[in-house]
Chains A and B, each alone.
Chain A
Amino acid sequence: MLDWTIVAPAFLTAAVEWVEAFTIVLAVSLSIGWRAASGAALAALTLLAAMTAITGGVLGLGLDIRWLQLAIGVFLLLFGVRWLAKAVARGAGLKALHDEAQEFANTRAALARGDWMASWLIAFKGVLLEGLEVWLVVVAFGLHDRAWVSSTTGALAALLAVVAAGMAVQAPLRRVPENAIKFAVGAMITAFGTFWTLEAVGGAAAWPWGDWSLLGLAAFYALGGLALIALLRRPSIAGAVR
């Protein structure tokens, strides 16, 4: 049985990363062809799948859940705070919005200077680094009530959705409102990170409303983030695309 409170955030978080990875693979494919570029992507995905399987096995050995919760909570905080801050800075006009078209052009320019192997490595490294964040999310959400199937399903569904959408539009996914997704996901991940770290160090009674505190935290970060955007707002800076 799938836990949709795990599938949804895992799907959204993974989708943002897969969009970035797909953009890199798309750019590389124009240099060395689809076959080689998708081979590099597949090699990276295989490595990530192995990492996920090994991590799941190790975490299933009955280690103290509080230490795991603390470690994963810290990772989620590192990850979530970074995303939320970036989304706030972009929303407030302090930083240019992430432009997939620009990333696509930059990758192509880099490829023009390199050879076949360098191109293959760019696709491999791109998918591996973006996928590494997906791996963290799958492990983190999988820890919650051992929801491995739900978190992996969310990440795989996101991968399929991004590949299908990317193939359909055949463009660097400019239409995906990345900053809005990043903002929502940043708020959710930060909420999970805050919840788990305090529960790990303070015990189950640390949160006054138990698991419901998670919803309160997510709402607090979402509303707080919107307030920060309003407070920090500047006129659009050069280079912003949306």
Chain B
Amino acid sequence: MSAFLKTLFGDPGTVAVVAIIMAAELLLIASNEVTSAAFAAPLLVLAGTAWLAKR
């Protein structure tokens, strides 16, 4: 079961990175900062990738 869940969602670090990205997207969209969200999201994804790679 744990292998199944890990295949679907990844480890807790990956889940945390994606949760932060989603929270930032929702916050920016709710603040009507749609254009900022389009530029912030890829930067956040790349920063999360760097953090996951370095662990």
Q: A: which residues have CB within 8 A of B?
A: 74-75, 77-79, 81-82, 84-86, 88-89, 92, 94, 125, 129, 132-133, 136, 190, 194, 197-198, 201-203, 205-208, 213, 217, 220-221, 224-225, 228, 231-232
Main secondary structure of the interface of B (DSSP, over half): helix
How many positions in chain B have a CB within 8 Å of any CB in the partner chain? 30
From A84, which residue of chain B is reached at the shortest CB distance?
Answer: B49
Known: A129-B7, A194-B41. A85 touches B49 (CB 8 A): yes
B44 to chain A, nearest CB (A): 9
Q: Chain A residues near B53 (CB, 8 Å)?
A: 85-86, 88-89, 92, 94, 228, 232
From B17, which residue of chain A is reached at the shortest CB distance?
Answer: A81
CB-based contact A221/B26 at 8 Å = no
Q: B: which residues have CB within 8 A of A?
A: 3-4, 7-11, 14-15, 17-18, 21-22, 25-26, 29, 34-35, 37-38, 41-42, 45-46, 48-50, 52-54
CB-based contact A129/B42 at 8 Å = no
CB-based contact A206/B34 at 8 Å = yes
Given known contacts A81-B49, A85-B52, A129-B7, what 16 new A-B pairs fall within 8 Å (CB)? A75-B8, A78-B14, A81-B18, A82-B10, A82-B11, A85-B49, A85-B50, A94-B53, A194-B41, A198-B25, A198-B41, A202-B25, A206-B34, A208-B38, A232-B53, A232-B54
- CB < 8 Å: which of B3, B15, B17, B42 contacts A217? B42
B11 to chain A, nearest CB (A): 8
Q: Chain A residues near B42 (CB, 8 Å)?
A: 194, 217, 220-221
- CB < 8 Å: which of A82, A129, A194, A203 contacts B52? A82
Q: Chain A residues near B18 (CB, 8 Å)?
A: 74, 77-78, 81
B28 to chain A, nearest CB (A): 8
